[in-house]
Amino acid sequence: MDIPALIGRQRVFFKEERTRPLGERLKRLQALREAVKRHEPALLAAVQKDLHKSEFEAFTTEIGLVYKEIGHALKHLRKWAKPKRVRTPLTHWGSKSYIVPEPYGVALIIAPWNYPLQLALVPLVGAVAAGNTVVLKPSELAPHVSRAICAVIADAFEPEWVSVVEGGVEASTALLEEKTDYILFTGSTHVGRIVMTAAAKHLTPVTLELGGKSPCIVSGDADLKLAAKRIAFGKFTNAGQTCVAPDYVYVQREVKDAFLEHLTAAVKELYGADPLRNPGYTHLISDRHYKRLAAFLNDGQVVIGGQTDSDQLAIAPTVLDHVDWSAPVMQDEIFGPVLPVLTYDRIEEVYEAVLARPKPLALYLFSSSRELQQRVVERLSFGGGCINDTLMHFASSYLPVGGVGESGLGSYHGENTFFTFSHQKSVLRQATWFDIPLRYPTSKAGLKIIRRLMK
Ligand code: NAD
């Protein structure tokens, strides 16, 4: 594909203001919703082929989120797009101030493979709602979904408005060489740095949705049975290949044994006695990922799971006890169905360990103490998270999703996606029927009064 030519055509389309009328944007979002509906069976089949995701998971964690995001944008777009009046200081007496959201132009969205559909289409919804044209690069590691996305997009948009560029590193690199007006990247911290470096050359603003090791703290006063079930759900959904999955558990020593018993029961309840034969259990994306994860099984004592199937690229939900920070499994984001359990006596130990490492994308706390809940939120920096739950903050259109520090830059979802893809243009409209002489250096009394007003 001739990438410079494609971006050039999108730029012309944008300059001709074809994406600007709100009515057109709304129509396109409706068209996108209809296209996703028409292609739903093909999308479900593609997600099944790439990741062995069940229909339940594919709908609740992929297609359903896309519908929700489109519905939310359709409902609120007129309000988001309206210029917003703001106050005007006394020094500017007579004028009015407002902020106009303005599309950037050509937006580039680069998506990963783990939720290959929603992590491509949810940002797209906001980018289109904001009035941009979009070049979308899905992940090459989920080739069936990448293909299916091409069909959906071709059904809803002309290529000058939204185009899909398929491929891996070469395609991504070629796209990043061109000047675009906004980049939203979702993927690893390592590639995030490459993207930001490339963006810097053109001074293109970026949102980076990255990863990291997200802690899950279980305090002695938590409802252990519920905590175990919600942690098992959060960790083993998509076989742990979730950016906001609990990476590891930090459990208070006095409840560790009870917690592990509940966790064992929860894993069995959710995935059955033989998860590798469970059609509802997701597999790993590639042989490389399978081998990396299988090696972690020796990093502690297996208390749950441990079974592997190299032909199907599957590892059963696995919990490792007796793990410490020096183990290989504790060095980088796990991104798979292996859950190490660490033990603490005093919460300060947890603060110290978390604060010594890059700021995580997510953090989860299970505790019934309001005081502890407040303290953890205050003390630790993380992208977002839940108290007494896992993952669910990600599925709310009202909460911005994004990391902090090495786990990301910027955020999106709901109105945040719209504003992410909009420049906030400040406008001051001054009156012309009078002109305060004080503001000019020729005014004798001016400085004195201005000094007083600006204090
Ligand atoms: P990745 O960084 O390897 O790839 C992401 C995208 O970048 C793909 O489209 C890929 O083709 C492209 N890419 C790969 N190498 C590149 C290079 N050298 N130059 C330019 N582009 C390149 O990530 P992944 O393996 O697809 O996804 C896993 C990572 O993504 C995990 O770290 C996970 O935590 C993170 N993630 C974050 C979020 C979030 O919302 N913050 C969501 C999902 C995944």
Report pLDDT for 164. 98
| Alpha carbons 8 and 135: distance in angstroms, whole number | 11
If you measure from the C-alpha of residue 138 to the centroid of ligand 1, how many angstroms do you get, rounded to a whole number?
Answer: 10
State pLDDT tens for residues 181-224.
999 999 999 999 999 999 999 999 999 999 999 999 999 999 99
Dihedral sign from CA coordinates of 156, 158, 159, 161: negative
Name, in order, each residue with C-beta under 8 angstroms of 11's C-beta and a sequence gap of 6 or more.
105, 106, 133
Question: How far does the chain reach from its first CA to its final CA, in angstroms?
Answer: 59
Report pLDDT for 450. 83
C-beta of 118 in contact with ligand 1 (< 6 A): no
Report pLDDT for 46. 97
CB-CB contact of 231 with 259 (8 Å): no
- Tokens 């309000």, located at residue: 79
Q: Which of 36, 55, 56 is nearest to 45 (CA)?
A: 55
Ligand 1 atom having least distance to the Cα of 138? 9
- In which residue ranges of the chain is CATH 3.40.309.10 found? 215-395
* Ordered alpha helix ranges (H), 112-215: 118-129, 143-156, 169-177, 189-202
What strands lie across the sheet with 206-209, from one edge to the other? 162-164, 133-137, 106-110, 182-186, 206-209, 408-409
Class for the domain spanning 215-395: alpha beta
If you measure from the C-alpha of residue 44 to the centroid of ligand 1, how many angstroms do you get, rounded to a whole number?
Answer: 22
If you measure from the C-alpha of residue 80 to the centroid of ligand 1, how many angstroms do you get, rounded to a whole number?
Answer: 30
147 pLDDT tier (thresholds 50, 70, 90): very high
State pLDDT tens for residues 348-406.
999 999 999 999 999 999 999 999 999 999 999 999 999 999 999 999 999 999 999 99
The catalytic site residues sit at 209, 243
Q: Is pLDDT above 90 for 437?
A: no
Report pLDDT for 452. 83
Maximum distance among all Cα pairs of the chain, rounded to whole angstroms: 87
Name, in order, each residue with C-beta under 8 angstroms of 381's C-beta and a sequence gap of 6 or more.
359, 404, 405
What pTM was computed for the model? 0.95
Report pLDDT for 446. 82
Q: Whose CA is nearest to atom 9 of ligand 1?
A: 139
- In which residue ranges of the chain is CATH 3.40.605.10 found? 3-210+408-427
Report pLDDT for 445. 82
CB neighbours (10 Å) of residue 168? 12
CA distances from 262 to 136, 216, 245, 387, 401 (A): 43, 16, 19, 19, 30
Q: Whose CA is nearest to atom 39 of ligand 1?
A: 209
Report pLDDT for 439. 84
Ligand 1 atom having least distance to the Cα of 115? 43
Instruction: Please spell the DSSP secondary structure of 285-329, one letter per residue.
Output: S-HHHHHHHHHGGGSSEEEE---EETTTTEE--EEEES--TTSGG
CATH code that applies to domain 3-210+408-427: 3.40.605.10
444 pLDDT tier (thresholds 50, 70, 90): confident
State pLDDT tens for residues 399-422.
999 999 999 999 999 999 999 999
Quick one: average pLDDT of 97-108?
A: 98
Q: Whose CA is nearest to atom 35 of ligand 1?
A: 187
Q: Is pLDDT above 90 for 448?
A: no
Proportion of the chain above pLDDT 90, given as a percent: 93
If you measure from the C-alpha of residue 117 to the centroid of ligand 1, how many angstroms do you get, rounded to a whole number?
Answer: 14
Phi-psi group of 77: left, alpha or beta (phi > 0 → left; psi -120 to 50 → alpha; rest → beta): alpha
Residues, the chain = 455
C-beta of 286 in contact with ligand 1 (< 6 A): no
C-beta of 334 in contact with ligand 1 (< 6 A): no
C-beta of 137 in contact with ligand 1 (< 6 A): yes
Tokens standing for residue 453: 């007003």
DSSP state at residue 60: I
Identify the three-state secondary structure at position 339: strand
Instruction: Return the H-helix or E-strand segment holding 49.
Output: helix 40-51
Give the up-direction half-sphere exposure of residue 29: CA atoms within 13 A in the CB hemisphere.
31
Quick one: average pLDDT of 85-103?
A: 93
91 pLDDT tier (thresholds 50, 70, 90): confident
Q: Is pLDDT above 90 for 63?
A: yes
Quick one: average pLDDT of 44-63?
A: 95
State pLDDT tens for residues 241-266.
999 999 999 999 999 999 999 999 99
If you measure from the C-alpha of residue 292 to the centroid of ligand 1, how many angstroms do you get, rounded to a whole number?
Answer: 16
Q: Which residues pair with 384 in a beta bridge?
A: 362
Q: Is pLDDT above 90 for 124?
A: yes
Report pLDDT for 1. 84
Q: Is pLDDT above 90 for 177?
A: yes
Ligand 1 atom having least distance to the Cα of 408? 41
Q: Is pLDDT above 90 for 47?
A: yes
Q: Name the pairing type of β-strands 96-103 and 422-429.
A: antiparallel
Buried b (16+ CB within 10 A) or exposed e, 398-433: ebbbbbbbbbbbbbbbbbbbbbbbbbeeeeeeeeee
Buried b (16+ CB within 10 A) or exposed e, 77-105: beebbeeeeeebeeeeeeeebebebebbb
Q: Whose CA is nearest to atom 41 of ligand 1?
A: 209
State pLDDT tens for residues 1-13.
899 999 999 999 9
